[in-house]
């Protein structure tokens, strides 16, 4: 049975999308609903894990029995992950982390151009541009940290790492690149161009890609069922390290 197979384990799940502030009232965001991550957190809780749910702003209620760490930005999500990583057994990054953030955040609400006047980033035609800078890749950085020689290593024991990839084309090729770059145990690849899979849907159609090149094609199922399938595959990775 699955019940209790994560007892005594500490797991971190990230969920939702990040909000990258432009000014006090605006942000750059994405369509992530948080449903997949919340399902993962609830499933791990039901199997006995201590669950830390690092979540971007979503419209879902806090799950009971889960330690919820709300964050807004990618930088805050990275800080939260780093805060809990040292004694975690598993990190599942299902969050849609913004790849870019505005280079600066305006302290006051940006006003539209009143006739004649031109503000920062505004052209005569009424165009407006925002300079973006790249956010750190949370999983990518961890791969570097965990690969560093022992002196530089954090106190992490082997941490099982699972990533997600939402793609609209070349699903397998893009997913394989991410799997390698981020050095994950496996990657859950999601074709978000399907109407029944991905952002905001109740169901998901995913492929699981492993470091050894294996690919598993799971049928369309509820996000709760996908969560159970994912934990089913994480648990054996935990027992392997226990024996080693």
Sequence ranges of the binding site for CTP: 99, 109, 136-139, 164, 178, 182
Among 49, 90, 165, 206, binds ligand C5P (CB under 6 A): 165
Name which of 135 and 197 has its Cβ closer to ligand C5P.
Answer: 135
Build a one-symbol-per-residue string for 174-213: x at contacts with ligand C5P by CB under 6 A, - elsewhere. ----x-----------------------------------
Please tell me whether residue 16 binds ligand C5P under the rule CB under 6 A: no
Query: Which regions of the chain does DSSP assign to beta strands (E)?
Result: 10-15, 20-23, 26-28, 50-55, 67-70, 90-93, 100-102, 132-134, 160-167, 186-191, 203-204, 206-210, 215-217, 221-222
Report the Cα 79 to chain-centroid distance in Å. Answer: 13
Query: What tokens were used for 117?
Result: 């006047």
Task: Provide the token pair at 199.
Answer: 């952002």
Please pick, from the candidates 44, 53, 95, 189, the single residue that binds ligand C5P as defined by CB under 6 A. 95
Backbone angles phi, psi at 163, to 5 degrees: -120, 170
Per CB under 6 A, which region of 36-44, 158-166, 202-210, 236-244 contacts ligand C5P? 158-166
Which residue, chain included where needed, has tokens 């979503």?
58
Q: Is 135 a catalytic residue?
A: no
SS3 state of residue 150: helix
Q: Which of 30, 135, 147, 190 is catalytic?
A: 30
Is the separation of the CB atoms in 48 and 5 below 8 Å? yes
Report the binding-site residues.
Answer: 99, 109, 136-139, 164, 178, 182
Nearer to ligand C5P, 2 or 31 (CB): 31
In angstroms, give the least distance from the CB of 13 to ligand C5P: 10
Taking the complex as a whole, the smallest distance from the CB of residue 137 to ligand C5P amounts, in Å, to: 4
Cβ pair 135, 74 in contact under 8 A: yes
Q: Which of 33, 73, 135, 197 binds ligand C5P (CB under 6 A)?
A: 135
C-beta neighbour count of 162 within 10 angstroms:
24
- The set of catalytic residues is 30
Which residues would be at the binding site for ligand C5P (CB under 6 A)?
14, 74, 93, 95, 97, 135, 137-139, 163-165, 178
């Amino acid at each position: 049975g699955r019940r209790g197979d994560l007892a005594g384990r500490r797991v971190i799940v990230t969920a939702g999308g990040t909000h990258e502030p432009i000014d006090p009232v605006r942000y750059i965001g994405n369509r992530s609903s948080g449903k997949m991550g919340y399902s993962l957190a609830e499933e791990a809780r039901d199997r006995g894990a201590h669950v830390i749910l690092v979540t971007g702003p979503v419209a879902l209620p806090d799950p009971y029995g889960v330690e919820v760490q709300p964050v807004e930005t990618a930088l805050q999500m990275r800080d939260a992950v780093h805060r809990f990583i040292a004694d975690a057994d598993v990190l599942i990054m299902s969050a849609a982390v913004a790849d870019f953030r505005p280079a600066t955040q305006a302290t006051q609400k940006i006003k539209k151009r009143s006739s004649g006047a031109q503000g920062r980033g505004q052209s005569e035609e009424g165009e407006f541009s925002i300079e973006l800078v790249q956010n750190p890749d949370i999983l990518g950085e961890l791969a570097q940290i965990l690969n560093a020689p022992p002196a530089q290593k954090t106190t992490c024991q082997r941490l099982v790492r699972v990533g997600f990839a939402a793609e609209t084309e070349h699903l397998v090729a893009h997913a394989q690149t991410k799997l390698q770059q981020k050095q994950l145990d496996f990657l859950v690849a999601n074709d978000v161009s399907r109407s029944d899979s991905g952002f905001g849907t109740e169901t998901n159609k995913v492929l699981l890609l492993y470091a050894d090149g294996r690919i598993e094609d799971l049928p369309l199922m509820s996000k709760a069922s996908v969560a159970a399938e994912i934990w089913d595959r994480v648990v054996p990775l935990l027992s392997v390290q226990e024996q080693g």
